[in-house]
Amino acid sequence: MSRTYTLQDLQALTLSELHALRGTLYRELALAPPHSEDARQTFASLDAVNRVIRQRATGPRMG
Provide mean pLDDT across the span 36-40. Answer: 95
CA gap 14, 53 in Å, rounded? 10
Provide mean pLDDT across the span 34-44. Answer: 95
CA gap 12, 38 in Å, rounded? 24
Residue 49: which residues within 8 A CB-CB, separation 6 or more?
5, 10, 18, 21, 22, 25
Confidence (pTM): 0.84
> Above pLDDT 90, what percent of the chain?
78
| Mean per-residue pLDDT over the chain, rounded | 90
Confidence of residue 58 (pLDDT cuts 50, 70, 90): confident
